[in-house]
């Protein structure tokens, strides 16, 4: 399945409105957006869905491990990984709505 620009724009629009309306903390909004963008970017590059999820998971965990090693400037949080995964899940939901394919 090829992810097209209208799908990407719809995901970004829905995520932005959801985060603003839901009172989600700005840091978590960024993690949600990063998760969605990473998932969409990988799938737009024709990476298989399962492979995209594994790459995204590795990036999310790696980012928090980096934060843990640099506590003077960063704060590692499990909630960040949950927000990243939430972005992937939300982007998958929109992809499914647009393409009716999962």
Report, in angstroms and rounded to the nearest whole number, the Rg of the chain calculated over CA atoms: 14
Q: With 0.85 as the threshold, say if the pTM is over it.
A: no
pLDDT in the model for residue 35? 92
Instruction: Give residue 69's domain range.
Output: 5-99
Residue with tokens 């990476």: 47
How many domains does the structure of the chain reveal? 1
Q: If we measure between CA atoms, which residue out of 4, 91, 96, 97 comes closest to residue 45?
A: 4
Instruction: Give the pLDDT confidence of 31-86 residue by residue, as tens digits.
Output: 888 998 899 888 888 889 899 999 999 999 999 999 999 999 999 999 899 999 98
């Amino acid at each position: 399945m090829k992810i097209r620009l209208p799908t990407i724009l719809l995901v970004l629009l829905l995520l932005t409105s959801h985060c603003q309306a839901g009172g989600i903390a700005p840091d978590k909004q960024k993690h949600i957006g990063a998760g969605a963008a990473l998932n969409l970017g990988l799938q737009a590059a024709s990476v298989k869905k399962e492979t995209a999820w594994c790459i995204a998971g590795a990036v999310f965990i790696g980012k928090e491990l980096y934060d843990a090693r640099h506590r003077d400037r960063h704060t590692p949080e499990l909630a960040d990984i949950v927000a990243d995964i939430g972005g992937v899940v939300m982007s998958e939901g929109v992809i499914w709505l647009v393409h009716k394919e999962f």
